Structures are given as C-alpha cells and as structure tokens.
Amino acid sequence: MSNNAYNESSVTVLKGLEPVKERPGMYTYTDNPTHICQEVIDNAADEALAGYATQIEVEIHADGSLSVADNGRGIPVGLHPTEGVSVLQLVFTQLHAGGKFNKKDGGAYAFSGGLHGVGVSVTNALSTRLEVMVKRDGAVWRMAFSGGDVIEPLTQTGTCPAKETGTYVRVWPDGKYFDSPNYSMATLERILRAKAVLLPKVHVSLKQYVADNQEPQIKTWHYPQGLSSYLDDLILTEERPVPVIATEHYFSDDSDFVQGEGASVALTWLEEGSISGESYVNLIPTPLGGTHESGLKQAVFTAVNQFILHHNLLPRGVKLQSDDVFSHVVFVLSTRVLDPQFQGQTKDKLTNRDALKLVASALSDPLELWLNQNTEAGKKIAEIAIKQAQARMRSVKKIEKKKGSGVAVLPGKLTDCESEDIRENELFLVEGDSAGGSAKLARDKATQAILPLRGKVLNSFEVHRDQLFGNQEIHDISVAIGVDPHGIQDTVDLSGLRYGKIAILSDADVDGSHIQVLLLTLFYTHFPKLIEAGHIFVAQPPLYRVDVAAQGKSKPARKFYALDEQELMLIQEKLDKEGVKETAYSISRFKGLGEMNPDQLKDTTMHPDTRRLLKVTIPNGENTHDIFTRLMAKGEAASRRAWMEEKGDLVEADI
C-alpha cells in the first residue's frame, strides 16, 4: 500500500505570480509569446484611447526581445497609499492591480481594454527579463524584473523636460512556457494596424531586425480617415453595389448610458459572397465577436427593415430575418464600453449583455437616416436582403425534402466510378462544366470519378465548419468524398472515405492557380487529416502542345506536351539537336482544359502511366499557417497589398 498522505501540509498556496508560472495557459496563449507582448501594446493603446499618447513604437530586437514605447503620461512611480511599494512595481508584479478599475470616480482610464489587472503582470511572470523606463514629472526612472521578481530596484537614471512623458517596456519572453519562441508577425501586424485604424490621431510603427541584415524593416500605420479607409483595404477589389456607410454615435450624460459610451462603424454590402467583419472593444480585437456585434446586427436589421416597410418593397409571402439582411454585410465596428466583460483573459469575445442594447441604440437611427438620404443605395440593399430571404425559404423547403429519405444523397453532378476499392479509386475535382465533360470521356470508368465545380470555391480559411455547407460546392465535395469537415486536433474516422486519391484538376493559368489555392485552403483548414494521410493531389495539365511532322519514312509524326515555358524551351532544344527545322513543327497553346479533346486529357493528365500528379504535403519546419493567414485571411488585405508591391516584380505568371 503506497504511503501517499493527504494532510494539512499537502495543500499548496501559490502566491504572487506563481499561479501564472504554474498554469500559464489559464492566462494567455502558449503557442507563442505574441499575446503576452500584446498586453504591453494594449496598455500603450489605452493611453492613446484616453487621449494622452500620439505615438506607439514597437521594435523586435535582434536578440528576440520586444519593446513598446509610447508618449503617454508614464506609469506613476511613487508609493501606493495602502500597499507601501512603488506603483510601478505593483502593476508589474501583482495580479489584479492596475489603473483601470476605478471607472466612475475620476479614474485614470474611463475606457480601456484592460479590466482584470492581470495583463502586464502575466507578461512579467513569463519573461526571463523585463525592463521598464518611465519619463514623468521631469525625471527618468528605470526598473528591471526577471520571472516576475525585481532584480534591479526602481532608480532615477536622469532628468528630462517636464512635458516629455511616456513609458518604455522591453520584454524577453521565457521560451520554456511557449511551443514556439517566434512571434506571429501576421498577428502582430494586424494588432498594430488595428490600433492605428481605431485611433486616427495616433502613429503606429513596427521595427524588426532580420538576421544577417543590419538595416531594420520598418512598417508604419496611420489612418486619419479611420474606419472607412480600413474597410476599403479589407474588401480591396470586391465589387460593391453600394458605397461604404461610415457613422458613429457616442452618448452624452443625459442618456441611459454612460457619457462617452457608444460605437463607430464602417460597413457596406457585397453582391455575392461574404467577408468576415472585424470588431473591437476599447481597441481590443474581438475575433470571436460578441454582444457588440449582435447589437450591430440588430441595428442594421432594424434600419433596413424599416426602410423596406416604409417603401413597401417586400414581396408577398416573404418574411425578412436578421441573417437575410446581415449575411452580405462586411463591417469594421469599434465600440466603447465603460466596463467591458470578456470571455477569458485572452479577450476574444465580448460578453456584456448591455453592449447589445448600447450598440443597437447608438447605430439604428444614424443607419436609418443614411438609408432615407440615399434612397437608391437603400433600394439596392433591400434587393440583396430580399434575394437572400427568398433563397433561404427555397433552401428550407429543399432541406425538408432531403430529410425524408434519411440517406446522404451523392451530388447529382458527380460521375462516380464502378470500383469500391479506395486503394485504386480516384476523384478528380475539375474546374468548369466543359472541362468536366472532357474529363468524363477521358476517365477510366472503373476507377476514376469526376466532380465538376462551377466557378471559384468559397475562401473557407476563416469560415466556421458549421457554416461550410451553406456553400453548395463545398457541400458536394464533402458528400462525394465521404468525410465531414474536421480540425487538426480532432480524432477523425476516415472509414467513410470513398477515394484513395482526390486530385485537383484546373487550368494551367492564373485563374486555375487561384482555384487550386482555394481548394487547398479548404483541405488544409477543414480536411487536414486527408492531407496528413496522403490523399490530396494536384494534377498538372500541360500548357503547350508541340506537333512534329513526319521526317520521312523512318520518323513518323510525333506529339510533345510541355507543362510551362521552360519545358517548351527544352523540347525545342531537343528538336534542334535532332536537326528538326522550326518549319517542321508547330506549337499550340491550350487556353484551358475545355480545349483539350478527351484523348489529349487522358494521355497528359489522367492516365496513371503518363500523367503528372503531385502529392500535397505540409513541409516540416515551415510556418504554413502564417503563410495561409497572409494569403487567405480577410483582415490581411493590406499586408497582401504591401507584399505584392514589394515582391510583384518577381512573379512569373501566365495571364
């Protein structure tokens, strides 16, 4: 019998910052140190939100540390009236200590993202070293910590002009608490850009030292026009049937809300598809939304519904719902709440119940006023909402019919194969109906199935798996392959898989490459186990055909296929070495798969002996998720534009 005594001495009390070190995942993300540094950035942004800072400068140093500087008021350095230690030491070493609790009695911060008082103390606890420098009241003060403990006490290191104030914090994250020591640059840039968007008077910069490069990379953000200019970056080239609506309302002291509370929004409607909106509470990004987004949804529905009823635009038998109006809206929402309540310390979702009423009350009237002042745009918005309602009503009827059978019916446009052995079965996801027709004639009926796709598949990178089947093409793909969407951490049963090889077959041009990327995004994000198990492939149809005339009786006519320009040059060099004159052969270019006859498609792309089929894998050591984020995330339009401007001259595209 083991002697595991359970008595009074068995109970451990974790004091100070020990709970953070013991269970860091309760307080922050532990995949990388970006979030603990975000806490420092948020503090600087709160100074700007309060109207005291106009600059936020972030720097990633060559040694892996990160610093944040602002020209706000500077953290107080005097003794706390009850705790008896410096306030500077208190906020960096005590959980639930900060200047953001006293909201109503003339406190330091009326509106702020921090409210638990655990933010920057968590940063300190999970860092090997943290240095703070404060300029305040004409003096420069300095203090240093390690693992949350003071290692260099508060010391005055110099003087400065009385008007020169601010705080400088430099953090060396402790790698043992994180899966990866590297910052997520995509996340960091998105956070900083958002601060600039939501604070039109503030200049934000990011300086990064890259290995083997003495000159740092510097990016700056400043949006004097605020939300509307940022929304333009978000939607980029998408067609907009109506102009961007930008409005804001903050309450005075004679309302039901606290003076200064309210919301600012820029929004518009898209004709087709949707782009995820972005929302913020006191400058804190809320990627999972929350009650403030629900308030915006209610305000938009109220305004549009009133406009439709006023102009008698609703067809008989159609009943409008909130989702009908909001499903094609893309928005940037900034909300100010006196006492925000978030879901968890990572602040991904706002949970204040009164925030719904706050945003709805603030924005309903301004939006309705805009619609009545812009009647033509209002009617276009009404048309989009009514079309969506009619489509929903048709969809509901359709779903009810499907439920009657109780069996998942294979897509009608799927041309299936005869074999049931997934070791040899192959499914080709083909771009376009015309190419699908050629592929059906070129396939081996025994083992090869064809599923033609109409147009470009939805960008599913940020679409929740529960919403995927709203897109017909993705629904058909999932039903055809016999596997439901899943996450990388999920335990997935692949016994329902109907094909051993799932091949993406698209044109060898820019549009075809785009479709490839969209489908690879779908599989990477929502069917990762298929990639992991080696079931996903990309077919490589040729771009050129070379027809060589017969060279006398000894050499009959021949055909060569080239994947790209480089292969075409190699074929020409080979023919030149054989002594074949340029007049003896002709070069033709395929504009798309639909131009190939079935025999050509079979020989070059589908027959196992002669085709080229690339297996899709995720390389070890490469930050695949960051690459997908930059390429496919809705909020990365500005980063993509900057990347294209920087790297655009290197592209070799067949347009």
Which residues span the domain enclosing 334? 227-396
- 232 burial type by CB count under 10 A (0-12 exposed, 13-18 middle, 19+ buried): middle
Q: What's the rounded Cα separation, in Å, for the pair 91 and 143?
A: 12
pLDDT beneath 50, residues of the chain: 1-2, 6-15, 96-118, 397-406
Q: What is the pLDDT of residue 197?
A: 84
Residues 191 and 238 in one domain: no
For the whole model, what pTM was predicted? 0.49
Same domain, yes or no: 142 and 174: yes
Domain co-membership, 365 together with 486: no
* Residue ending a domain, choose from 355, 377, 396: 396
CA distances from 157 to 135, 138, 140, 141, 495 (A): 10, 11, 6, 6, 68
Q: Report if residue 201 sits inside a domain.
A: yes
User: Tokens 């400088």, residue?
Assistant: 168
**Where among 221, 243, 260 does a domain terminate?**
221
pLDDT value at position 166?
93
619 in a domain, yes or no?
Answer: yes
Q: Are residues 287 and 194 in the same domain?
A: no
Chain segment 219-262, per-residue pLDDT in tens? 998 888 888 888 887 787 666 788 889 998 988 877 778 888 89
Tell me whether residue 47 is in a domain: yes
pLDDT of res. 362: 92
Q: Name the H helices within 539-585.
A: 565-577
Secondary structure of residue 221 in the 3-state scheme: strand
| pLDDT in the model for residue 190 | 82
CATH of the domain at 256: 3.30.230.10
Whether 242 and 121 map to the same domain: the answer is no
Q: Is the same domain home to 357 and 465?
A: no
Q: Specify whether the CB–CB gap between 595 and 544 falls below 8 A.
A: no
Q: Are 211 and 233 in a shared domain?
A: no
> What is the rounded distance in angstroms from the CA atom of residue 108 to the CA atom of residue 102?
7
Contacts 24+ apart (CB under 8 A), 154-159: 154/77, 154/86, 154/88, 154/89, 157/133
Helix axes 354-373, 291-310, angle to 10 degrees: 30
Same domain (yes/no): 26, 92: yes
Residue 238: inside a domain: yes
Rounded to whole angstroms, the Cα distance separating 227 from 247 reads 9
pLDDT tens per residue, range 367-425: 999 999 999 999 999 999 998 888 877 765 443 334 334 455 778 788 888 888 787 89
| Helices and strands, counts by H and E, the chain | 18, 21
Claim to verify: residue 316 and residue 373 sit in the same structural domain: yes
Question: Do residues 52 and 193 share a domain?
Answer: yes
- How many whole angstroms separate alpha carbon 128 and alpha carbon 535? 44
Q: Assess if residue 31 is contained within a domain.
A: yes
| pLDDT score, position 47 | 86
Residue 400: how many other CB atoms lie within 10 Å: 9
Domain of residue 105, CATH code: 3.30.565.10
Question: Is residue 210, in this structure, part of any structural domain at all?
Answer: yes
Number of domains in the chain: 3
C-beta neighbour count of 465 within 10 angstroms = 14
Q: Which residue, 396, 411, 443, sits at the end of a domain?
A: 396
The answer as to whether 404 is a domain residue is: no
Asked if residue 202 and residue 57 are part of one domain, the reply reads yes
Q: Do 103 and 212 belong together in one domain?
A: yes
* Residue 186, in any domain of the structure: yes
CATH number at residue 631: 3.40.50.670
Beta strands in 174-276 (DSSP E): 203-208, 217-221, 245-250, 262-269
CA-closest candidate to residue 631, choices 534, 527, 525, 531: 525
